């Protein structure tokens, strides 16, 4: 009965909310309904359609061609001839790897008489590690990947392990369903590997706002909306974010259903974990093993170790005073804009803006008498960098000064400063100069070191807690003892100041050195000091001995052995080992919270207007979750890639089609809902979707099918009649001629000039870019841009460091999205700024010079041979007679000008005239300069930046 | 661009400049479809009052109580706490909302025929009050900079939406044939919060995004020839590129190649015209003095003068971001300095446009992303961010001159009359440009998006 009423009431509420929302927000007429709308074609799971019969026989190479030809026959059109081998191979190379073929690759293909010649090229290129870079970049658009936080501060972040995970997954042809599951819930898979944790970086590619004065919860919700939008666009091909504010006007997604889906994702920490390359992993494994081996030898040579350890355990059990946790109020102004979020355990988590210098003031009233010591605990938290306990990029912090005051409750103005006479800590680093990232430009010598630095009243010194890689991200504690016990019969107002001024000069950069999660306690006990035992040991002590696991016993041993003088040598050996522990990198990841977070339907998407609580669930018009399984993020991930999902497979095969042919079978690739464009070839779309699912979700299978088709191999030349009839080539009666993506434009120029460093993966790089862009007033704050001088200068463009607020100009001019939001369909513009970029941008110029030098060195001895050489490198084909004439005309005119001394050839032909390479034998500078001019023209041709 | 939009261009916009050039290039082969110039000039929904905008974006949040919104009662209550009912549900960025009120720091007087009240900080603006409309009743949804600036510039706090300038160029195209349609300067102590997204094109085609100009060195990135390339070589190179591109066009027939050819032509033209454009040294002395501009010395005033020169050359939308107004502390000194840096040039722009007959079809907008709290931040010389009420002014292009609309309460905390939300401002400005803001839409993700989302009412009181 009760349940029935609740259900009825709920339905009523939903209806009222939906109706009210519609009335208030949507005065414009909406097409009918949000009722279950499975009649729309895209909401029915795809089934394998029959392959159509065609009149013309013998053209089709696979089913794709039958679908295409059948439609062409209906339209009274015929397919175009197959493209020439040179342009076909260039097309295939650009499509599969984003790099042009070398002249020798072209020669090999042209000379290959085998009937399998094309197939061999397809397999060669599908197996290339550059395939993952090419197609990974497109996924990274959908995943809104960037190397910075966005919003005002737009600080650098570390997410390139995720980028490399995408490249690697595609290269290994990870089944698409697993590819998605790992990105949505890799952390929830059993025994999740580092790679699976890294995959959840997909959910963390959202922007982070750490502007001063923000409410972190507001922007956490913005990030949740962004995650939903990204999943909608990239996985489902559905516009789900409309239902953020109200029931979807066109598609049957209800307002509460949006929040029910969000509830799957909402129970997370925004974590950042240490990650290691394969070599670093080996090193770590080695350190762990060696440590265990040395500990085993210690135990072997000390058979009575167990009894001695137990005696030690007894001696240190129960030797700690009783501490009372303080729950103070934080003074808002004193935080410098950082938010101290109170936790139920009495700790405060620092979030939001991270000022590099501040002195937080915390005030609390207490009845406790004889307060003799204060304890400051620095705690871990999954929301801190590398788990904390601090907020610096290493998860550390420094305490410049611990200060306290008190006043009687009866007379709050009668404030007395507390004299702290003694400080102890469980760990302090040895005294050392502050790292350069914390330089505050004051020219003072600032140091971190022992805990006494926190009570010395000196601005330049602070308590430092860096125990080195692998050992630093653990809880720490310090105890501060007063000269006189504090007592007030009517109660005491305590004020504690934690001065944190060991950050750097630029609060808009990652230069904070703040404490991350803190907890304050006090005690009346005499002689309290900081408990020297590592966190977690006392919890093991609390477990009866017989119930302890070998690992727990080993943990105790690792602590105890440090107290045993006869183990000195081994302890030192182990310490030496750990000094070689790799620093690793970090990666933003998603991590499930242990205690649940409730999700509410938000009125108009406003986080301040929560209405009813919602449970995780999926929209009624789509396939349902399996019964009797846990309802969690992993279930949601599996649901997304369920065979019954109507849009998941269609959406990805459509985007693959879009990339090859310029337009998707559904042109609106981000939306398959009722408002989407009708598919040009609905059966083909379904056929490809089913092919994907029935072939182990292998994306390479789909690529192979497409590029093997006759459809793909057609010439892209177009007659005026066909251009008029089908300007956007939706019917594919010809090959598609498409300007390549911005990254590939850069890659082509680097590859053909021989400059390209084809290394795959690693941290993002900083090719030349105008300095002023990274300084105010062009950028909000000063940003780092360390122009590469070495081999990283010429990496593929997908490795270019991506600041969201200051996009790399060359890529921006060629329509590369900046990662603010998910993008599954790029714009493709054709503008004068693009012409200026390829003509004048420094790296294009360096490529033109490099191609010229390469040409005179390797391209033969006559002008004709050299031209042919350079032309073939750039375009994959030999020049036509007319083209040769024009280009050699330019060559001779410019060479003559240099010879006449009208211009200085060194300036044109060398990046640095003072450090030029020696001239090749028999070549003079005028020639190289004139070849530079020719090379620059070649790099600027429409055909060069076009996939024909 | 999807088909629908291409169709829209073909149907709604006729054949643009690019297509004409294309016909010329293709001769008898001229098949314009597929290569319509997306920046070709277009007609709006109805006869416009204005065709250009110069937007002086005062980033950081200027204090309305120190500049335009005289609040004598706030002086009276200086040092007292605000009434608790005022603070119900109020969120602030840095301060505890329950902070003491801070009286205005500067004197006000009435100016002009209209008798508009202006603070002593703005002596030059005081002289143009009869040409401008002051809106004291602006309201926004955001109280942090990046979301606030994004709200003001894209109508949404969510990233990924097209900026105001890109909507305008999308709707009207460009009349500048050798300059970008939408030009952006940044002149303050910092760049705008949120960076390029403030002038991005969102889901609109990227040709509509703003192009950043500098007022020193090359105005546009990669405008100058690289080292070793002189004028003769550049000409010879671009001519050769054109010839080879034309050969390719003849053999493969893709009209996109024709567009590429005209892009290179335009690039060459831009190389010639842009340096001339930013060279303000040729401006008469009295004009330089009027603005307070000094050739070769980057400043807000120089950019304002360049904005006029850009509009004269057909640029549709110029936006100057001047980040300077975030006075959490040091209010008196900083706001005085900011006004010194900006007041004269802003007033000069209105006067100069007027004397050239350009003001009638150019709208000048002055304002930031939000206002500031009547409550103090810190000691007695700072104010926090405040979204509930702030002041902007506009002039020209069908804006009714010499009026002040809107009222705030005695503390300058809430709007009490003629509330103008950011969406209403956008609706009004689009109206002046000839658009029904509900019909200037772009289909994306199955929805027709607009600058004003699902809101916005034209403020009739502002119309001349």
Q: What is the pLDDT of residue A17?
A: 40
Q: Give A-chain residues touching B261 at CB under 8 angstroms.
A: 942
Sequence-ordered list of residues with C-beta below 8 angstroms from that of A875, at least 6 positions apart, any chain = A90, A938, A941, A943, A944
Tens of pLDDT, residues A414-437: 999 999 999 999 999 999 999 999
CB contact under 8 A, B191 and A211: no
Same-domain status, A405 and A548:
no
Q: Give A-chain residues touching B195 at CB under 8 angstroms.
A: 154, 779-780, 803-806
Instruction: Tell me if A386 is assigned to some domain.
Output: yes
Same-domain status, A881 and A935:
yes
Same-domain status, A465 and A570:
no
CB contact under 8 A, B194 and A718: no
Q: What is the pLDDT of residue B33?
A: 38
Q: A925-939 and A742-752 are packed helices; what angle lies between their axes, rounded to 10 degrees?
A: 150
CB contact under 8 A, B255 and A723: yes
CB contact under 8 A, A779 and B195: yes
Same-domain status, A858 and A936:
yes
Q: What is the pLDDT of residue B217?
A: 80
Asked if residue A87 lies in contact with residue A67, where contact means CB atoms within 8 angstroms, the answer is no
Q: Give B-chain residues touching A251 at CB under 8 angstroms.
A: 446
Same-domain status, A468 and A499:
yes
Label the pairing between strands B132-139 and B420-421.
parallel
Instruction: Tell me if A924 is assigned to some domain.
Output: yes
Same-domain status, B116 and B184:
yes
- Alpha-carbon distance B78 to B102, whole Å? 5
Same-domain status, A853 and A916:
yes
- Alpha-carbon distance B373 to B99, whole Å? 10
Instruction: Tell me if A399 is assigned to some domain.
Output: yes
Question: Closest Cα of chain A to B1: distance in Å?
Answer: 6
The CATH number for B355's domain is 3.40.720
Residue span of the structural domain in which B20 resides: 1-37
Same-domain status, B88 and B190:
yes
Same-domain status, A301 and A445:
no
Q: Give A-chain residues touching B449 at CB under 8 angstroms.
A: none
CB contact under 8 A, B3 and A728: yes
- Alpha-carbon distance B394 to A628, whole Å? 63
Instruction: Tell me if A886 is assigned to some domain.
Output: yes
Same-domain status, B75 and B190:
yes
Question: Closest Cα of chain B to A96: distance in Å?
Answer: 23
CB contact under 8 A, B195 and A154: yes
CB contact under 8 A, A777 and B321: yes
Instruction: Tell me if B249 is assigned to some domain.
Output: no
Same-domain status, A560 and A465:
no
A to B CB pairs, distance under 8 Å: 299
In 10 A of CB A17, how many CB atoms?
19
Preferred mutation among B341, B445, B448, B449 to probe A, highest tally of A CBs within 10 A: B445
DSSP assignment, residue B16? Answer: -
Same-domain status, B326 and B438:
yes
Overall domain count for chain A? 3
Question: Closest Cα of chain B to A78: distance in Å?
Answer: 18
For residue A245, what pLDDT band results from cuts at 50, 70 and 90? confident
Q: Give B-chain residues touching A894 at CB under 8 angstroms.
A: 233, 236
Instruction: Tell me if B359 is assigned to some domain.
Output: yes
Q: What is the pLDDT of residue A854?
A: 97
Cis amide bond preceding B116, omega within 30: no
Q: What is the DSSP string of B274-335?
A: HHHHH-GGGS-HHHHHHHT--TTS--HHHHHHHHHHHHHTT--EEEEE-B----SS-HHHHH
In 10 A of CB A809, how many CB atoms?
17
* Residue closest to A663 by CA, chosen among A672, A676, A654, A675: A654
Preferred mutation among A832, A885, A909 to probe B, highest tally of B CBs within 10 A: A832
Same-domain status, A370 and A285:
no
Asked if residue B304 lies in contact with residue B56, where contact means CB atoms within 8 angstroms, the answer is yes
With a pLDDT cut of 70, the percent of chain A lying above it is: 96
Tens of pLDDT, residues A329-382: 999 889 999 999 999 999 999 999 999 999 999 999 999 999 999 999 999 999
pLDDT, tens digit only, all 464 positions of chain B: 344 333 333 333 333 333 333 333 333 233 333 446 888 999 999 999 999 999 999 999 999 999 999 999 999 999 999 999 999 989 888 888 999 999 999 999 999 999 999 999 999 999 999 999 999 999 999 999 999 999 999 999 988 899 999 999 999 999 987 899 999 999 998 999 988 999 999 999 889 999 999 877 889 999 999 999 999 999 999 999 999 999 999 999 999 999 999 999 999 999 998 888 889 999 999 999 999 999 988 999 999 999 999 999 999 999 999 999 999 999 999 999 999 999 999 999 999 999 999 999 999 999 999 999 999 998 899 999 999 999 999 999 999 999 999 999 999 999 999 999 999 999 999 999 999 999 999 988 888 999 999 999 999 999 99
Asked if residue A220 lies in contact with residue A210, where contact means CB atoms within 8 angstroms, the answer is no
Same-domain status, B7 and B85:
no
CB contact under 8 A, B186 and A830: no
Give the position of tokens 């501009």: B293
CB contact under 8 A, B240 and A777: no
Same-domain status, B361 and B434:
yes
Tens of pLDDT, residues A575-607: 999 999 999 999 999 999 988 899 999 998 899
Q: What is the pLDDT of residue A251?
A: 85
- Alpha-carbon distance B49 to B398, whole Å? 5
CB contact under 8 A, B191 and A207: no
Instruction: Tell me if B228 is assigned to some domain.
Output: no
Same-domain status, A362 and A499:
yes
CB contact under 8 A, A886 and B211: no
For residue A38, what pLDDT band results from cuts at 50, 70 and 90? low
Question: Is residue A689 predicted with pLDDT exceeding 70?
Answer: yes
CB contact under 8 A, B241 and A940: yes
Q: Give A-chain residues touching B234 at CB under 8 angstroms.
A: 839
Overall domain count for chain B? 2
Q: What is the pTM of this model?
A: 0.91
**B399: which strand partners?**
B463
Same-domain status, B29 and B90:
no
- Residue bearing the bigger pLDDT, A177 or A239: A177
Helix H or strand E encompassing B242: helix B231-252
Question: Is residue A647 predicted with pLDDT exceeding 60?
Answer: yes
Asked if residue A384 lies in contact with residue A395, where contact means CB atoms within 8 angstroms, the answer is yes
Instruction: Tell me if B288 is assigned to some domain.
Output: no
Of B186, B225, B253, the CB nearest to A717: B253
Mean pLDDT estimate for chain A? 94
Same-domain status, B20 and B77:
no
Residue span of the structural domain in which A300 resides: 278-313+540-583
Instruction: Tell me if A556 is assigned to some domain.
Output: yes
Same-domain status, B29 and B50:
no
Instruction: Tell me if A574 is assigned to some domain.
Output: yes
Q: Give A-chain residues touching B196 at CB under 8 angstroms.
A: 805-807, 812, 818
Q: What is the DSSP string of A889-909?
A: HHHHHHHHHHHTTSS-HHHHH
Same-domain status, A300 and A415:
no
Same-domain status, B54 and B23:
no
Q: Give B-chain residues touching A937 at CB under 8 angstroms.
A: 237, 240-241, 244
Among the three residues A523, A548, A564, which one is the final residue of a domain in this structure? A523
CB contact under 8 A, B445 and A909: no
CB contact under 8 A, A903 and B228: yes
What number of CA atoms fall less than 13 Å from residue B124's CA on the CB side? 17
Tens of pLDDT, residues A249-297: 788 899 999 999 999 999 999 999 999 999 999 999 999 999 999 999 9
Q: What is the pLDDT of residue B186?
A: 94
Instruction: Tell me if B447 is assigned to some domain.
Output: yes
Same-domain status, B23 and B81:
no
| Burial per residue of A569-603, b for 16 or more beta-carbon CB atoms within 10 angstroms, e otherwise | ebbeebeebbeebbebbbbbbbbbeeeeeebbbbb
Same-domain status, B33 and B47:
no
Instruction: Tell me if B115 is assigned to some domain.
Output: yes
DSSP assignment, residue B110? Answer: E
Asked if residue A948 lies in contact with residue A734, where contact means CB atoms within 8 angstroms, the answer is no
Instruction: Tell me if B191 is assigned to some domain.
Output: yes
What number of CA atoms fall less than 13 Å from residue A453's CA on the CB side? 26
Asked if residue B358 lies in contact with residue B312, where contact means CB atoms within 8 angstroms, the answer is yes
Sequence-ordered list of residues with C-beta below 8 angstroms from that of A606, at least 6 positions apart, any chain = none
Q: What is the pLDDT of residue B170?
A: 96
Same-domain status, A421 and A510:
yes
């Amino acid at each position: 009965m009760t349940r029935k009423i609740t259900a009825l009431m709920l339905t009523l509420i939903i209806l009222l909310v939906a109706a009210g929302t519609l009335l208030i927000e949507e005065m414009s007429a909406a097409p009918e309904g949000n009722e279950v709308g499975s009649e729309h074609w895209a909401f029915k799971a795809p089934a394998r359609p029959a392959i159509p019969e065609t009149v013309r026989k013998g053209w089709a190479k696979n089913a794709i061609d039958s679908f295409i030809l059948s439609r062409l026959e209906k339209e009274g059109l015929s397919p175009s001839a197959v493209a020439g081998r040179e342009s076909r191979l260039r097309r295939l190379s650009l499509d599969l790897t984003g790099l042009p073929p070398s002249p020798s690759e072209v020669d090999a293909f042209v000379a290959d008489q085998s009937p399998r010649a094309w197939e061999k090229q397809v397999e060669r290129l599908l197996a290339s590690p550059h395939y993952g870079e090419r197609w990974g970049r497109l996924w990274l658009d959908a995943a809104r990947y960037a190397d910075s936080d966005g919003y005002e501060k737009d600080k650098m972040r570390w997410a390139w392990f995720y980028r490399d995970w995408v490249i690697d997954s595609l290269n290994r042809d990870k089944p698409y369903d697993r590819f998605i599951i790992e990105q949505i819930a890799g952390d929830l898979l059993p025994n999740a590997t580092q790679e699976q944790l890294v995959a959840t970086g997909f959910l963390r590619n959202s922007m982070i706002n750490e502007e001063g004065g923000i409410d972190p919860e507001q922007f956490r919700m913005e990030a949740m909306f962004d995650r939903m939008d990204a999943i909608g666009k990239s996985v489902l091909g559905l516009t789900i974010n409309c239902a953020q504010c109200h029931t979807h006007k066109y598609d049957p997604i209800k307002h509460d259903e949006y929040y029910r889906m969000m509830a799957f994702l909402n129970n997370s920490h925004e974590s950042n974990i240490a990650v290691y390359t394969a070599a670093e992993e080996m090193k770590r494994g080695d350190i762990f093993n060696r440590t265990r081996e040395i500990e085993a030898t210690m135990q072997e040579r000390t058979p009575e170790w167990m009894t001695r350890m137990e005696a030690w355990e007894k001696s240190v059990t129960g030797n700690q005073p009783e501490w009372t946790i303080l729950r103070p109020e934080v003074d808002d102004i004193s935080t410098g804009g950082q938010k101290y979020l109170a936790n139920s355990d009495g700790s405060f988590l620092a979030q939001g803006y991270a000022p590099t210098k501040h002195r937080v003031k915390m005030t609390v009233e207490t009845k406790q008498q004889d307060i003799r010591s204060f304890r400051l605990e620095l705690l871990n938290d999954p929301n801190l960098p590398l788990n904390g306990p601090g907020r610096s990029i290493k998860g550390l912090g420094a305490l410049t000064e611990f200060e306290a005051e008190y006043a009687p409750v009866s007379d709050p103005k009668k404030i007395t400063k507390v004299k702290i006479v003694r400080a102890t800590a469980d760990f302090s680093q040895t005294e050392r100069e502050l790292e350069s990232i914390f330089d505050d430009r004051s020219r003072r010598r600032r140091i971190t070191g022992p805990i006494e630095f926190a009570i010395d009243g000196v601005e330049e010194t602070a308590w430092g807690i860096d125990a080195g890689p692998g050992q630093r991200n653990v809880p720490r504690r310090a105890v501060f003892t007063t000269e006189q016990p504090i007592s007030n019969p009517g109660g005491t107002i305590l004020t504690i100041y934690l001065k944190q001024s060991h950050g750097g000069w630029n609060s808009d950069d990652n230069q904070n050195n703040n404490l991350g999660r803190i907890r304050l306690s006090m005690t009346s006990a005499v002689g309290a000091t900081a408990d020297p035992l590592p966190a977690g040991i006392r919890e093991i002590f609390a477990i009866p001995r017989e119930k302890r696991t070998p690992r727990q016993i080993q943990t105790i041993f690792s602590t105890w052995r440090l107290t045993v003088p006869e183990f000195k040598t081994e302890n030192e050996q182990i310490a030496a080992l750990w000094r070689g522990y790799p620093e690793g990198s970090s990666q933003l990841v998603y991590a499930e919270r242990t205690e649940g977070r409730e999700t509410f339907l938000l009125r108009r998407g406003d986080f301040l207007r929560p209405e009813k609580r919602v449970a995780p669930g999926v929209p009624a018009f789509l396939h349902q979750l399996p019964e009797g399984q846990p309802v969690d993020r992993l279930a949601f991930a599996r649901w997304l890639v369920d065979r019954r999902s109507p849009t998941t497979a269609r959406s990805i095969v459509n985007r693959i089609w879009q990339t090859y042919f310029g337009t998707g079978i559904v042109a609106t690739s981000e939306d398959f809902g009722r408002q989407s464009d009708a598919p040009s070839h609905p059966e083909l779309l379904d056929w490809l979707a089913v092919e994907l699912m029935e072939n182990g979700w292998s994306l390479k299978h789909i690529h192979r099918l497409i590029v093997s088709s006759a459809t793909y191999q057609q010439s892209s030349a177009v007659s005026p009649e066909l251009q008029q009839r089908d300007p956007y080539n939706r019917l594919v009666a010809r090959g598609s001629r498409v300007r390549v993506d911005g990254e590939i434009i850069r890659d082509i120029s680097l590859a053909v000039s021989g400059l390209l460093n084809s290394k795959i993966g690693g941290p993002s790089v900083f090719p030349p870019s105008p300095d002023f862009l990274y300084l105010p007033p062009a950028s909000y704050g000063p940003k780092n841009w360390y122009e590469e001088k070495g081999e990283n200068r010429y990496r593929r463009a997908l490795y270019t460091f991506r600041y969201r607020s200051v996009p790399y100009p060359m890529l921006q001019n060629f329509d590369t999205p900046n990662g603010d939001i998910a993008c599954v369909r790029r714009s493709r513009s054709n503008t004068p700024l693009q012409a200026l970029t390829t003509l004048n941008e420094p790296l294009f110029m360096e490529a033109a010079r490099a191609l010229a030098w390469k040409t005179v060195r390797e391209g033969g001895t006559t002008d004709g041979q050299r031209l042919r050489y350079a032309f073939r490198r750039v375009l994959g084909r030999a020049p036509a007679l007319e083209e040769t004439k024009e280009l050699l005309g330019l060559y001779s005119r410019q060479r003559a000008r240099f010879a006449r001394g009208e211009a200085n050839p060194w300036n044109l032909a060398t990046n640095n005239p003072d450090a030029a390479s020696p001239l090749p034998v028999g070549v003079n500078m005028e020639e190289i300069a004139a070849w530079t001019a020719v090379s620059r023209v070649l790099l600027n041709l429409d055909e060069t930046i076009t996939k024909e | 661009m999807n088909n629908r939009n291409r169709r829209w261009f073909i149907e709604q916009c006729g054949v643009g400049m690019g297509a004409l050039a294309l016909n010329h290039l293709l001769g008898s082969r001229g098949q314009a479809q597929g290569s319509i110039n997306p920046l070709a000039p277009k007609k709006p929904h109805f006869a416009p009052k204005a065709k250009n905008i110069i937007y002086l974006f005062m980033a950081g949040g200027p204090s309305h109580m120190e500049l335009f919104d005289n609040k004598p009662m706030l002086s009276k209550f200086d040092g007292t706490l605000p009434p608790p009912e005022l603070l119900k549900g109020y969120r602030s960025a840095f301060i505890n909302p329950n902070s003491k009120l801070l009286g205005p720091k500067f004197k006000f007087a009435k100016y002009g025929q209209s008798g508009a009240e202006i603070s002593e900080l703005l002596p030059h603006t005081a002289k143009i009050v009869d040409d401008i409309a002051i809106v004291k009743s602006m309201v926004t949804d955001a109280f942090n900079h990046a979301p606030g600036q994004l709200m003001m510039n894209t109508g949404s706090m969510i990233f990924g939406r097209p900026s105001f300038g890109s909507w305008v160029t999308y709707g009207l195209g460009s009349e500048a044939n050798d300059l970008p349609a939408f030009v952006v300067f940044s002149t303050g102590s910092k760049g705008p919060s949120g960076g390029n997204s403030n002038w991005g094109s969102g889901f609109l085609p990227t040709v509509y995004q703003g192009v950043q100009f500098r007022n020193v060195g090359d105005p546009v990135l990669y405008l100058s020839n690289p080292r070793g390339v002189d004028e003769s070589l550049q000409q010879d190179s671009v001519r050769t590129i054109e010839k080879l591109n034309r050969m390719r066009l003849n053999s493969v027939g893709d009209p996109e190649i024709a567009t590429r050819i005209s892009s290179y032509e335009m690039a060459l033209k831009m190389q010639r015209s842009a340096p001339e454009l930013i060279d303000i040294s040729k401006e008469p002395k009295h004009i330089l003095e009027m603005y307070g501009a000094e050739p070769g010395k980057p400043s807000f005033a120089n950019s304002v003068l360049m904005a006029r020169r850009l509009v004269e050359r057909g640029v549709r939308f110029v936006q100057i971001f001047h980040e300077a107004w975030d006075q959490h502390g040091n209010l008196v000194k900083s706001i005085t300095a900011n006004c010194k840096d900006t007041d004269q040039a802003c007033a000069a722009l209105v006067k100069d446009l007027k004397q050239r007959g350009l003001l009638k079809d150019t709208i000048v907008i002055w304002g930031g992303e939000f206002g500031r709290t009547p409550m103090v931040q810190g000691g007695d010389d700072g104010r926090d961010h405040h979204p509930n009420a702030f002041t902007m002014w506009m002039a020209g292009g069908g804006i009714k001159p010499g009026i002040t609309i809107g009222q705030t309460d005695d503390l300058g905390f809430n709007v009490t009359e003629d509330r103008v939300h950011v969406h209403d401002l956008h609706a009004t400005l689009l109206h002046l440009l000839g658009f029904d803001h509900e019909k200037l839409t772009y289909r994306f993700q199955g929805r027709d998006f607009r600058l004003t989302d699902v809101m916005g009412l034209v403020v009739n009181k502002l119309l001349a």
